[in-house]
Amino acid sequence: MGKPITPMKPRVSQYGVAPEFVTKRMAEYPEMTSVMLKDLFADTPEVIYPSEKGLDAVREAAEKALANVDMSMIKPGDSVNVCASHHGFTLLGGEPYALLLKTVRDIIAERTGTDNIRLRAGVGLRFRETEEYIKAFGLDKHYKGRAKGVAPVDEGIPIETEIGTLYGIKAIYDADWIVHVHNSDVREVHFHRQVDRAVKPFGMSYARIETRSTYHQNLGPRAANFTARAIFGSEFVQNKFAFAAFLDMSPAGVVGVDADNDLLALNDRLTVNGCKYYGKIITLFGEIDECIAGLDFPCPVPYVFAAGVIYCNFAGANVDLFDLDNPLPPYTWYTEAFYGKNGRPLVGDVPVVNPAIKMVVHNYAWGGYPSAFFSSHVPTIVVGREQADLINRDPQNIEYVKHSVIADDLDSAMEFAYKTAKTDKVIIFDGAVGGLNVSESLAQLLIEKAPQVNKRVDVELMPKWLKQRGIDPATVK
């Protein structure tokens, strides 16, 4: 246990309150401490970032990985769309992903002779989010004014696939070639279940509303992941796809950069890494018996991070999210859809939201994602009237504050939470890098439980997870 890790700073964004309204962070309380991932799991991978070399290590790793990629199909004068997603900018402050995007551009220009290279940055449900990142990280300048954010309501293009017509965003595909630049952070494992993780943006941030609705409404909680595979496998996309470059992430930071002309080969590698790197910490979170969860990070409610795990995965950590034999995690949109008018599940297959979360203190988290499910299932305190007002104006969260109480400040929220939740265990989703900020009582529990989780994942769970995804555990080191 050590002193708390500095939380990720608030970010200026139209989707959250201005940083000056975030007057105190949860990690500032004297009862808070930190636990490093290395101290929980000895096999936590070494990271190149953060490290003493700083961002240079990311550039070097990108250059090395891209040296093995064939770019000969791109001729001088050809147009190339470097396709990005908002998600990468939420990792470790966003600089490593922004640098990867810059490096990819530099190397394409250098090796192919073309200068017609554009950045197309897709989004989740906050349609101007990548516009904000493009400006903040100087990507518009680096791409010589050819950088833009694209949204799922922008003009579409039909894509014929093995299962029928799906729709992409026209601006993603309006070039001779596309290059897919993403990351392997597990993030929405409740949705993608670590199936085709590397392919997912083709069915999501590069896709139109029709396709995204197909994923979340038409195919079912596990079959949904075929949406992206169908689009990526289409003749239309295959004829444009040049290569992919990924930040290889672990909960502790950037492990390296992986790049390949064969996205499905890269996908298989990242599937294994994702299960390995994130499986243990998510399983350990499932061992927490009771706690107050603090949201304190510049992202929408479900996406705030602790030890590389997002809050909505903690909300489902009472179920093994990697085990595909479990049809429904405690939170997905399919799960949410299956609650009837009486507030109870329509079918018995719906697991409850993690009962260990006794209360949520929403100190700082954005709107821009439908989050009322969380406040209606877990008692929630929103800190500050400004934050509550901002959420109330958000068309995706008209009902969120209705299910919450509002505290004037963090001190009164914490006082109320301790009294009402009757636990002194606190976990803070504040983006702390390399570990997580928790109360001393919770730190002790995590340290005590980690060895048995370590063994269970290695011996029992990993082989099952890999087999379910068509990967022979014997082939994995």
Partner 1 sequence: MRLVNMLAQVDAEKCTGCKTCVKVCPTLAIQIVDRKAVIDSEKCRSCNNCQQRCPVYAITMVKREKPFKVYVDPATEDRTKIDELCAKAKFNPEQIICYCTETRAEEIAAAILKGYDTPEKISLHTGVRTGCKVECIQPVLRLLEAAGITPERPDGWQWYGRTPTVWDIPEDVKAKYSKRGFYFDNDIELLNKVAQTKKSGKEDN
Q: Contact positions toward partner 1, by CB under 8 A? A: 125, 127-128, 151-156, 158, 162-167, 193, 195-196, 208-214, 216-223, 225-226, 229, 324, 327-328, 333, 336-342, 344, 346-347, 349, 369-370, 372-373, 392-393, 395-399, 468-470
CA dihedral 73, 74, 77, 79 (to 10 degrees): 120
CB of 169 to partner 1, least distance (A): 10
The CA distance from 35 to 116, in Å, is 47
CB of 447 to partner 1, least distance (A): 33
The CA distance from 215 to 204, in Å, is 8
CB of 428 to partner 1, least distance (A): 27
CB of 76 to partner 1, least distance (A): 31
100 vs 466 by CB, closer to partner 1 = 466
The CA distance from 184 to 429, in Å, is 20
12 vs 223 by CB, closer to partner 1 = 223
CB of 265 to partner 1, least distance (A): 14
Q: Give just the sign of the alpha carbon dihedral 232, 118, 85, 73.
A: positive
SS3 string, 61-86, reads HHHHHHHCCCCCCCCCCCCEEEEEEH
Tokens of 256: 């390296």
The CA distance from 295 to 42, in Å, is 27
The CA distance from 145 to 31, in Å, is 48
39 vs 154 by CB, closer to partner 1 = 154
Strand partners, 247: 183, 257
Cis omega before residue 329 (within 30°)?
Answer: no
214 vs 423 by CB, closer to partner 1 = 214
128 vs 269 by CB, closer to partner 1 = 128
Tokens of 267: 């996908």
CB of 412 to partner 1, least distance (A): 27
CB of 381 to partner 1, least distance (A): 22
The CA distance from 181 to 96, in Å, is 12
297 vs 373 by CB, closer to partner 1 = 373
* 164, 253 contact by CB (below 8 A): no
219 vs 447 by CB, closer to partner 1 = 219
